[in-house]
Amino acid sequence: MAVPDLTQQQLDDIYAFAVDLGRRAGQLLMESIEKRMDGEEQQTVEEKENAVDIVTQTDEDVEIFIKTAIQNKYPSHKFLGEESYAKGQSRDYLIDEHPTWCIDPLDGTVNFTHIFPMFCVSLGFIVNHRPLIGVIYAPFQDQLFSSCPNRGAWLNEKRRLPLLRNPVPPMPSNAPSKCIFSCEWGKDRRDIPDGNMQRKIESFVNMAADAGGRGGKGGMVHGMRSLGSATLDLAYTAMGSFDIWWEGGCWEWDVAAGIAILLEAGGLVTTANPPEDVDTAPIEDVRLGSRLYLAIRPAGPSATETGRESQERTVREVWRRVRHLEYTRPGA
Amino acid sequence: MAVPDLTQQQLDDIYAFAVDLGRRAGQLLMESIEKRMDGEEQQTVEEKENAVDIVTQTDEDVEIFIKTAIQNKYPSHKFLGEESYAKGQSRDYLIDEHPTWCIDPLDGTVNFTHIFPMFCVSLGFIVNHRPLIGVIYAPFQDQLFSSCPNRGAWLNEKRRLPLLRNPVPPMPSNAPSKCIFSCEWGKDRRDIPDGNMQRKIESFVNMAADAGGRGGKGGMVHGMRSLGSATLDLAYTAMGSFDIWWEGGCWEWDVAAGIAILLEAGGLVTTANPPEDVDTAPIEDVRLGSRLYLAIRPAGPSATETGRESQERTVREVWRRVRHLEYTRPGA
């Protein structure tokens, strides 16, 4: 059942609310950091799945703050937050076609506990499974990424994304060469033969190695970047700073806002896992909840290709070099 | 021949000059970015050793700006800059005991060309081979890291480094677990059996894998981070955000300012390459110019160890997990 479309005025109102809420939630994160820096507060960290999967009291407090604000303003909207989900029993994909907020109060929790600036609040607004509005706020460096349908994607509501847009550059003709490749080591560190960690590493090395290396799979990317925040990886891809982001294992609250922003900026998101025929398989929009993501930055036309063609060519070149990852998911 | 010590007043004056110069140079970097974002200027990129080793016109312009300012203010000081060095014939270590500025007008050049914010200007002031004063300025996020002997290390001249200092936390008792490990894939991507790239990757995987993995070498670090800027890696280690930074292949202008800041903040820098007996070998200060660096963040005492003891324990745990890298260097 599709729900009726929202009007532009309704979307604009939700967007303005989300931007304000993102800034206020980010301010709460900074207040917590400042108390720790001033020695007024110690941090309590709780482990979830393993020693690198953690939650802090701040995560939970900020999620309640966000949830309360949304429920007061939009009582008919559904709400899905990382911390409340994590406490539930189900690992199903719970989003349906109704207007739903999918939020992460604190993405980059490990960064936050170490006071490395790459942490953020992430607010995604989804209708009919499509992320429509996104707000990502990284308060330590005061970077707010946001988007609304037909209004564009923005950095700090001042600079339109992607940042280079006069004109928007095409993907490099020999991509993934000349591309910045963003990837994360993630939380699954089990050293199992042909397990996810080993497949990720094999994929990373293929992307990094010089063009003659790895039996012709060498991608010789311009740079390999790991920030420790899937949400900010996507934000920087929307900005045009990262050309390619490839990831398995993250959840819908990690990516909902980022996908909205990336798509509005002109980027592409499909599945991380290569299909059987990488040369001809259709390049489909990613299914939210699939836990497997490959994002390409916004791209403009060249003399010989449309922007979309250059993005699709890049997707196929990545698929040639990466392994299948196994992150199953009920209900997605 | 040792040169006479500078007075505190002389150091304070040089420090104030360096902070101002760093900010002005960073502003030039931002002006170049803004012109590109406004479509007023195209970027010219020239390759050096290979497709990922690049220099821009901005690198060269900003180096001349910095060099001129230093020569006007301190005509007796020596000067070593990345771009003038790269144009020379020698790959020797050229710094002697005299007061010398060792600067990088733009560290993170790949990030700069892609407008990923992790780029910076780096100004190191060295006497008797010891980095004394450091200024690192990342203008996109307006983060200035600086230090002067006996005056402390600072973020934006407001927050003393490390950021957590009430009290400064010791290194984790089971380090490298609970540590953020900062490492870079670098520019040498030759896929040679047992070459530097393969040795780096083996070391990365050892640090990342769960504690039972890799034949007992699994480090299960809290996070793996790659920013694409050795200079900012060191700055964030001084800040306490990164616990461990391990790197081979970078040059003295990449690290001179960062080492000054890290040491003044209470960090430790030694060699990346494990000695024969990792349990008992003395942990010596790194030789500037060696191209092999292992940095540990500032650490305070615990009930059972001094901060230095916990840093040295961490060094040995890293050495157990990393491979020798081969970056030879005449004259260092």
Helix residue spans in B183-306 (DSSP H): 196-208, 230-239, 252-265
- Cα–Cα dist B15/A57, whole Å: 40
Q: Contact A110/B180, CB-based, under 8 Å?
A: yes
Amino acid at B22: G
Q: Considering only CB atoms, which chain B residues are within 8 Å of A115?
A: 163-164, 239-241
Q: Under a CB-based contact definition with an 8 Å cutoff, are residues B99 and B79 in contact?
A: no
Q: Nearest by CB to B214, from A191, A222, A243: name it.
A: A191
Q: Considering only CB atoms, which chain A residues are within 8 Å of B32?
A: none
State the pLDDT at residue A50.
Answer: 77
Residue with the two structure tokens 């790459």: A118
Q: Contact A223/B190, CB-based, under 8 Å?
A: no
Q: Considering only CB atoms, which chain B residues are within 8 Å of A227?
A: 225, 227
State the pLDDT at residue A51.
Answer: 75
- Cα–Cα dist B48/A290, whole Å: 42
B131-178 pLDDT tens trace:
999 999 999 999 999 999 999 999 999 999 999 999 999 999 999 999
Q: Considering only CB atoms, which chain B residues are within 8 Å of A180?
A: 110-111, 114, 116, 228
Q: What angle (nearest 5°) sits at the alpha carbon of residue A130, between those of residues A126 and A133?
A: 50
Q: What is the largest CA-CA distance in chain B?
A: 60
Q: Contact B115/A220, CB-based, under 8 Å?
A: no
- Beta pairing class for B244-248 and A268-270: unpaired
Q: Considering only CB atoms, which chain B residues are within 8 Å of A164?
A: 36-37, 115
State the pLDDT at residue B82.
Answer: 84
A107 is in an annotated binding site: yes
Q: What is the largest CA-CA distance in chain A?
A: 60
Whether the bond between B176 and the residue before it is cis, its omega within 30 degrees of 0, is yes
A191-230 pLDDT tens trace:
999 999 999 999 999 999 999 889 999 999 999 999 999 9
B161, B178, B185: which to substitute to probe chain A, counting the most A Cβ within 10 Å?
A: B185
Lowest mean pLDDT across B43-52, B100-109, B127-136, B319-328? B43-52
Sites in chain A below the pLDDT cut of 50: none
Report how many Cβ contacts below 8 Å link chain A to chain B. 154
Q: What would the two tokens of residue B259 be?
A: 């080492």
Q: Nearest by CB to B220, from A39, A51, A241: name it.
A: A51
Nearest Cα of chain A lies from the Cα of B66 at a distance, in angstroms, of 26
Q: Percentage of residues in chain B with pLDDT exceeding 90? A: 84
State the pLDDT at residue A4.
Answer: 75
Nearest Cα of chain B lies from the Cα of A313 at a distance, in angstroms, of 20
Amino acid at A77: H
Q: Nearest by CB to A191, from B166, B213, B243: name it.
A: B213
State the pLDDT at residue B45.
Answer: 79
Domain architecture of chain B: domains with CATH: 8-160 (3.30.540.10), 180-319 (3.40.190.80)
- Cα–Cα dist A159/A156, whole Å: 7
State the pLDDT at residue B85.
Answer: 77
Q: Under a CB-based contact definition with an 8 Å cutoff, are residues A231 and A107 in contact?
A: yes
pLDDT band, very low/low/confident/very high, at B41 (cuts 50, 70, 90): confident
Q: Under a CB-based contact definition with an 8 Å cutoff, are residues A110 and B180 in contact?
A: yes
